[in-house]
A and B are shown apart, each in its own frame.
Chain A
Amino acid sequence: MTAVLYRLVYMSRNDITDEIDTQIDGILKTSRENNRLAEVTGALMFNTGCFAQVLEGPHNAIQATFERIQCDERHSDVTVLLFEPSNKRSFSSWAMAYVGAQESALERFGNLGDESGFEFTALDGDDIYNVLLDNLHDAEAQ
């Protein structure tokens, strides 16, 4: 019997002010490693204002990952939008994308999606993801 899959969707405020490139890079690297070991998949979207993350995996793996993320000082005001069992994974691996319109940031992060294998098609058709994208656009810091 395979463990029940859970899906978590949360948003938080991006508190990174310095060296955002390296910080984001670091998050991507550790997440990729840790999540693979824990059988957690999902996606992290961000812009200069906020983070939005989807995590999929066994309950306790999600819990443990979330606890680690919660203690991270690089973000705050964490709001959970969804936490429930789900019957399939929307993301087959761990992906990350910059979601914003800021020109300067686009240049810096725009190619992250290609690098990490983020496919926006994974988000198609699910209301929660559309809400996420709307929120992300609203929260982009000037």
Chain B
Amino acid sequence: MIDSVPQLEALATGIAIINGDNVIVHANTAFARRLNVDALPYRLTDIDLPEARSRDLLEWQLRDIGESALTVAIAPGRSLTFYIGAQREGQRLIIAASGWPHRDESTRDLAAQLDPLTGFGNRLMYAERLREFEAMGTKAAAVLIIDLDHFKQVNDTLGHGTGDELLGLVAQRIRASTRGNDTLIRLGGDEFVVLIPEEKHCEGLEALAGRLVNLLGRPFLVNGHQINIGASIGVATLVGDSDQLQDLLRHADLALYEAKHRGRAGHYVFQSPLEQRAFDRREFEVDLRRALGLRQFTLHYQPQTSIADRRVTGFEALIRWEHPTRGRVSPLDFIPLAEEIGEIAAIGRWVIRCACEEAMAWQDERLSVAVNVSPAQFADDTIVDAVRDALDHSGLAPARLELEITEGLFLEESESIMRRLWAIKELGVAVAIDDFGTGYASLGYLNSFPFSKIKIDKSFIQAEPSPRAKALISGILAMGSNLGMATTAEGIETLEQYTQLEHDGCSLAQGYYIARPMPAGQIADFLERFCPPTARAS
């Protein structure tokens, strides 16, 4: 019903009140007559204006909840000006008058900011909105950047006219899923942006992105054709720092790139490098926790040879993690994490057990198998159980098993660690010192336990040959023989290194020069063909 407040009815000026949805709730007769409104409620943006563009302009102007004015053409040579009052408690005053004394400058500005095809804003409007946000010190905002998949094919096969119409429908679907105070932008081509001026929870944004992806993936009907396209969406948010407003679009763009990279028709939320790192770490952790269960670990074996006897004495078991998407992950990367998250006990138990079982398959029953054990595994008695179980389960002679521990274990004097070492020794298992010379433990520990071997760290072996380096190595070798412990040189890569160690009286050799680590299945073959290094050289 058209209202009839007598005083207002008498006016020649059109006056109306609209609600937050731009629906006219009161209007005087002058307003109704001028704009052909016959019954209420009536949406102000549905009024009949000769230029579709005018309606877009009006709609945009109404998105701004402040005061403004807009002049539009209603017939050739005749214009109408809307004075739009500021919104208060969901309502605002609209005055429609012809011959408004001045044509508002902002009207022309606004026209330049509109995309004629979709009625969305263009880049200029995006920039303008950002300026407004900055001026207001906006602390929360979000951007969705929507990129259509396969749009080019539509243009190429069905023509630009159809492509343009499709863009119009896409814009409509985007509009239908967004809210009145979101700014909708067509950046150009088939790229759209939704600029959301408030804080929205990440889940809310993801839900919106998911809905848009779904909606734009549904078929379109244009010019008698069924068209299927899809959309990928990048999302970026700004929380608490308006300095980063300028980065929003770039961040969303990066996220879009990631979304496409992960396979089209999806969305991705931009993460700062810091968040990304935390996220990556978490994923890595989850993968690591699953690796055992998914049987992604295997052991490779690197031969150890006796220099004097020129024969293979045993193998060191080295863990390999083959992940379906990460590829081969280095133990240097995952063992520290496994120690940190407590997975090391389970992984370590598996390694000992698998090594014992696989060693049982070797022809020569003199061959030993060495297993690396992390200090973290010595934190409780389970290490002793793990060794006992592995031996029981596999039936391997205890003397063939050797645990390799590092000096790090002796950084603190600990009675419980010594007790565990002795318990292992009592099972008949040998214990060697690995990476000797790299830890900072006092050498006193060498005196407190009968280690089977000292493995000299490869950094000594591979160091530039200098008198001092030589002196260091021969010093370690002499110490070993005086204490009655064998010495192993690790990381031998050249004949020179090998012959020097032979000359200095080192007992065992290990390194690429002798052989690289190999899968269990290649060991039999290796043993058959093995020929000692010096025999090769001469």
Contact flag A71-B219 (CB < 8 Å), given A76-B214, A84-B224? no
B-contacting 9-mer, from A40-48, A62-70, A95-103, A125-133 = A62-70
B246 is an interface residue with CB less than 8 A from chain A: no
| Contact residue among A8, A63, A71 (Cβ-Cβ distance under 8 Å from B173) | A71
Contact flag A63-B177 (CB < 8 Å), given A71-B215, A83-B226? no
B326 is an interface residue with CB less than 8 A from chain A: no
The distance in angstroms between the C-alpha atoms of A5 and B173, with both chains bound, is: 25
B274 CB, min distance to chain A CBs, angstroms: 36
The distance in angstroms between the C-alpha atoms of A63 and B166, with both chains bound, is: 11
B181 is an interface residue with CB less than 8 A from chain A: no
B225 is an interface residue with CB less than 8 A from chain A: yes
Is the CB–CB distance between B224 and A85 below 8 Å?
yes
Query: Taking CB as reference atom, which chain B residue is nearest A71?
Result: B176
Q: Which residues does chain B contribute within 8 Å of A67, judged by CB atoms?
A: 169, 172-173
B346 is an interface residue with CB less than 8 A from chain A: no
Q: Which residues does chain B contribute within 8 Å of A8, judged by CB atoms?
A: 221
The distance in angstroms between the C-alpha atoms of A56 and B176, with both chains bound, is: 24
A132 CB, min distance to chain B CBs, angstroms: 16
A32 is an interface residue with CB less than 8 A from chain B: no
Is the CB–CB distance between B215 and A70 below 8 Å?
yes
B218 is an interface residue with CB less than 8 A from chain A: yes
B478 is an interface residue with CB less than 8 A from chain A: no
Would you give the 0/1 interface string for B180-211, flagging 1 where the beta carbon is closer than 8 Å to chain A? 00000000000000000000000000000000
Q: Which residues does chain A contribute within 8 Å of B223, judged by CB atoms?
A: 59
| Contact residue among B215, B218, B222 (Cβ-Cβ distance under 8 Å from A63) | B222
A80 is an interface residue with CB less than 8 A from chain B: yes
A6 is an interface residue with CB less than 8 A from chain B: yes
Q: Which residues does chain B contribute within 8 Å of A139, judged by CB atoms?
A: none
The distance in angstroms between the C-alpha atoms of A67 and B224, with both chains bound, is: 14
* Chain A contact residues, majority secondary structure: strand
B223 CB, min distance to chain A CBs, angstroms: 8
A78 is an interface residue with CB less than 8 A from chain B: yes
Contact flag A80-B219 (CB < 8 Å), given A6-B224, A59-B224, A85-B224? yes
Contact flag A70-B214 (CB < 8 Å), given A6-B224, A59-B224, A84-B224? no
Number of A-B contacts (CB under 8 A): 33
B13 CB, min distance to chain A CBs, angstroms: 34
- Which A residues from 1 to 54 make CB contacts under 8 A with B? 6, 8, 10
B231 CB, min distance to chain A CBs, angstroms: 14
B222 CB, min distance to chain A CBs, angstroms: 7
B326 CB, min distance to chain A CBs, angstroms: 34
Query: Taking CB as reference atom, which chain B residue is nearest A82?
Result: B226
A117 CB, min distance to chain B CBs, angstroms: 26
Contact flag A70-B224 (CB < 8 Å), given A76-B214, A78-B218, A78-B219? no
Contact flag A80-B173 (CB < 8 Å), given A62-B221, A63-B221, A70-B215? no
The distance in angstroms between the C-alpha atoms of A78 and B173, with both chains bound, is: 15
From B172, B173, B176, B226, name the one whose CB has the most chain A CB atoms within 10 angstroms. Answer: B226
B423 CB, min distance to chain A CBs, angstroms: 60
Q: Which residues does chain A contribute within 8 Å of B177, judged by CB atoms?
A: 71
Is the CB–CB distance between A80 and B215 below 8 Å?
no
The distance in angstroms between the C-alpha atoms of A112 and B176, with both chains bound, is: 31
Query: Taking CB as reference atom, which chain A residue is nearest B173?
Result: A71
B492 CB, min distance to chain A CBs, angstroms: 63
Would you give the 0/1 interface string for B151-183, flagging 1 where the beta carbon is closer than 8 Å to chain A? 000000000000000000100110011000000
| Contact residue among A66, A71, A76, A79 (Cβ-Cβ distance under 8 Å from B221) | A66
B233 CB, min distance to chain A CBs, angstroms: 17
Is the CB–CB distance between A80 and B214 below 8 Å?
no
The distance in angstroms between the C-alpha atoms of A63 and B218, with both chains bound, is: 13
The distance in angstroms between the C-alpha atoms of A100 and B173, with both chains bound, is: 32
The distance in angstroms between the C-alpha atoms of A76 and B176, with both chains bound, is: 16
Query: Taking CB as reference atom, which chain B residue is nearest A77?
Result: B218
B458 CB, min distance to chain A CBs, angstroms: 60
The distance in angstroms between the C-alpha atoms of A78 and B223, with both chains bound, is: 19
User: What is A's interface to B at a CB cutoff of 8 Å?
Assistant: 6, 8, 10, 59, 62-63, 66-67, 70-71, 76, 78-80, 83-85
Q: A80-B219, A84-B224, A85-B224 are known; give 13 further A-B pairs, CB within 8 A.
A: A6-B224, A8-B221, A62-B221, A63-B169, A67-B169, A71-B173, A71-B176, A71-B215, A76-B214, A78-B218, A78-B219, A80-B221, A83-B221
A-B contact pairs, 10 of them (CB 8 A): A10-B219, A63-B169, A63-B221, A70-B173, A71-B173, A80-B226, A83-B221, A83-B225, A83-B226, A85-B224
Sorted nearest first, the 3 A-B pairs with minimum C-beta distance are A80-B219, A71-B176, A83-B226
